[in-house]
Every structure is written in structure tokens, then in C-alpha cells.
Amino acid sequence: MTDPTSDAATLSTADILRHAQRVRDSGILGRSNRIRGLFDFLVDCAVRGRVPKEIEVAIDGFGRSPAFDASKNALVRVYVHKLRRKLDAFYATQGEVGAPRLVIPKGEYRLLVDIATPRSSPYAVWRAKPSRREWLAIAVLTVLAALALWLGVRRVPSQPVDPQVAATRASALWQPLLQDDLPIQIVLGDYYIFGERDASGQVSRLIRDFNVNSRDDLEQRVQAHPALAAQVEDLDLGYLPTSSAYALGQLLPVLAAAGKRTSIILSSQLNADVFKTSHVIYIGYISALGMMQDVVFAGSRFAIGASYDELIDVASGASYVSEAGEPKRNAERYKDYAYISTFPGPNGNQHLVVAGTRDTAVRQAAEMLVGSRRLDELRQQAKGQKAYEALYEVYGVNRTNIEARLLIVAPLNTASLWTDLATQADAPAALAH
């Protein structure tokens, strides 16, 4: 990917304003006054050659007082991240290969004009070409998950049900999913991966781009940038984290005992129509939500931070960063974060998200949803809400989840779930801490 700090062009004031006006006219900035105000502020800084610091953005861009503490309040980081995503979305559909574009470099708070050359790849390299063993591991994980589901749904409902499973099925969280005849669609969070060809036309690298989460996304990218057609290839390949398969195994007995029609799909294969016709249960990394991400966080009080290892509480400014991705010594304790949410679909159905920032948290999230004590704790804190989210701090050792602590239960803003209101400034208040 082109480095905008090294390849940025020095354009005239008129050029910068022209690029900015194209973004405004597209409507991509939405209706959030904060997003539009931040964009205007950064454009003004770019025109004047000013490189603002985080505290300056808070004071001059958002009107905060000089007493604003950026170390305790992530307001600026949240909205800069949202604006960066807006710009990425704009150029993914309306940009031209090699044409200048406005960018906000990661870790900075300034707007630059980046000129990408047609020869450079617009994608981040996920890894080099995998070994035979890695290819087999990817395939085996997917097959095992599908086989586990097939075995689970063949369970005869009339057989005796384990008392723990029966208690789980009767809980307030599971009942909306199990009490009717609607089918259940399990969505396993996978990473869609495509190939990049070298000069000889052979696929030499595998690419993971967080803005390309399915075959359709890749096709749209190629349509917007026709020159990429010769550079990329759909390999019909996805990577499934091991924790997703483990979590699926934890939840299958609950679904099998209910005798529900249940099917499985990867998030990279998901079609939006499923949200209308089925109950949806998502299992996996927050970073693997794909097209579900905007729905899940539309009415949330949380926003994804500088990376998918960070969740930011917009209401309080608190930041929760997973430590699970950092190298650890044996028996060293670390923190990860599990995220659970449940909310109604557009046609009287119900959706459930069982997620985490890393493997440790995903496993813990699934275990909590089949344990009566944890489900009862969640029910009490939710106070009868049908749409709410919960954040847990998970403690792990040697890549194993040991225990968890409930941090926040908050209602979801259901008016925003199925509309393009993800950038609203006001987040719902917490129910419990």
C-alpha cells in the first residue's frame, strides 16, 4: 500500500478544496455533525499546512475545553477512525486508479493528498504464499466446523436433554431464538482471502484487506479499478480461527436439543437477505464480522479503535485493548475482551452476536452463553431489554480463557440498527457497570 507520508503530493489550495467538495457532494459523510465538522476542520488544516495534534482536534475541531484529557477520552480517535472509513468507502466506489485521494494516515490527525501509482497494490499483505500444511489447516477447520454442525442438528429432539442444556434453552437470551419455527443461520466469522499475481501471472501472495470481506466486495473493487483485474484473483478461500470452531461446538447442543432447522455459512459468503428470513447467530472475531459490522455497531455505544484489538466506549471515552495478540511468557496472565449482543431483526426475528477481540475471548463468550449463572447475571443486568450488548474482560493464560468479569451492559439504539445512522454522536447510556 502506498505510504501517504512519503508519496503525498503538494497540491494547490484549489485542488485540495476540489477533492474535499467531491467527498461532501457524495453524501458519504452522512448526517453526523461531528463527522462533517471534523472533515471540515482537517480540510482547513490541510489548506493552511497545519498538522494538528489530538488535543488540538478536540479543542478546535470539537469545541472541547483546554482541560480535555485525551488519555482518558477517546473522542478524537473514535471519530478520526470513522472518518477514515468513510474516505476508504468513498474511494472504493468512486476513485480512479492512480488518481490523487484524500487520506488520514494511521496514527495521525491530518488530511493528506495521496498519489498511488498503478503499479502499487492497494491492499495490505496478510502473509506470504502459504505452505501446503497451512492450506490444509485452513480447509480442515472449515470442514470440521461443517461436520460438527451436521452431527449436531441430526440429534433427535425426543431424546433426553441434559438439564444444563434445558436451562440454557429456557433463558431469556435464547428463548427469542428457539420459541418459533424460523430457521437459524449460524454465521462463522472467517477472513476472506484473495490472491495477488506477480509479474508472471502466478498467485504469489495471499491478501487480507479489512475492506474486502467477500467475493462481491472484490468484484466491486475491480469494477471501480479495472486495472486490478489482472492483479488479483478470487481463490474461494477463507481462514477460520480455531476459536470459532470451539465456540460452535459449545453452542450446538443448545440448538440440536431444540430441533431447530439450522444451517451454517461463513461471514464472507453472507447475503443480506438472511437478516430478514432467519434468526442469525454470529460466532467469531469482531474483526471478521464483515458486512455485519455496520449493523452490529450501528446502535452500539462502542466503536472499533485504531485496530480491531481495541474497543472504545464512546459514552465514557474508555478504551479496552486486548493483550492476547502480544507475545507472552508461559503462565503470564493477559486480558482479552468478549462482546455479546442480541437485537431484533427487521421481520420479527432475533440476532445474536458471540464475539471477541481474540481467540481467548471468543471461547469465553460461547461458554458464558451456555452457563446458567452467567446467563442469569446477564438477564438481571439487561433488566428486560430485548436489544442490548455486553462487554466482558476475559483473563487468559497460555492461550486459555480462565475467568471473565462483566464490565458493561447497555441497551442498543434499535432505531439505528437497520438504517445508515452508525455515526450518530450520541451513544445510549449504560444499564450497568
Q: What is the 3-state secondary structure (H, E, C) of 132-187?
A: HHHHHHHHHHHHHHHHHHHHHHCCCCCCCCCHHHHHHHCCCCCHHHHCCCCCEEEE
Integer Cα distance of 323 and 321 in angstroms:
6
Give residue 94's pLDDT: 67
Specify the length of the chain in residues: 433
Give residue 303's pLDDT: 92
Give residue 11's pLDDT: 54
Give residue 127's pLDDT: 41
Give residue 12's pLDDT: 67
Q: Containing H/E element for 41? A: helix 33-48
Eight-class DSSP state of 278? S
C-alpha triplet 311, 313, 318: angle, nearest 5°: 90
Question: How many CB atoms are located within 10 Å of the residue 399 CB?
Answer: 15
Integer Cα distance of 98 and 115 in angstroms:
6
Give residue 331's pLDDT: 80
Q: Which three cell numbers stand for residue 423?
A: 455515526
Give residue 115's pLDDT: 59
Give residue 125's pLDDT: 44
Give residue 419's pLDDT: 57
Q: In sequence order, what are the residues at sequence separation of 6 or more whose Cβ sits closer than 8 angstroms to the Cβ of residue 313? A: 74, 301, 302, 319, 320, 391, 408, 427
Mean pLDDT by 10 residues, the chain (433 residues): 40 78 85 85 88 90 86 80 82 65 82 57 42 46 51 50 85 93 92 86 85 83 82 84 89 86 87 87 93 88 88 92 83 93 91 96 95 91 94 92 94 74 38 42
| 373 in Cβ contact with 430 (< 8 Å) | no
Integer Cα distance of 429 and 268 in angstroms:
32
Q: In sequence order, what are the residues at sequence separation of 6 or more whose Cβ sits closer than 8 angstroms to the Cβ of residue 176? A: 279, 342, 350, 386
Give residue 423's pLDDT: 36
| 241 in Cβ contact with 284 (< 8 Å) | yes
Give residue 96's pLDDT: 58
Give residue limits of the domains in the chain: 4-115, 123-154+191-239, 155-189+241-416
Beta strands in 276-431 (DSSP E): 279-285, 302-304, 310-313, 319-321, 333-344, 350-356, 388-397, 400-411
Give residue 4's pLDDT: 39
Give pTM, 2 decimals: 0.64
DSSP class per residue in 359-370: HHHHHHHHHHTT
Give residue 98's pLDDT: 55
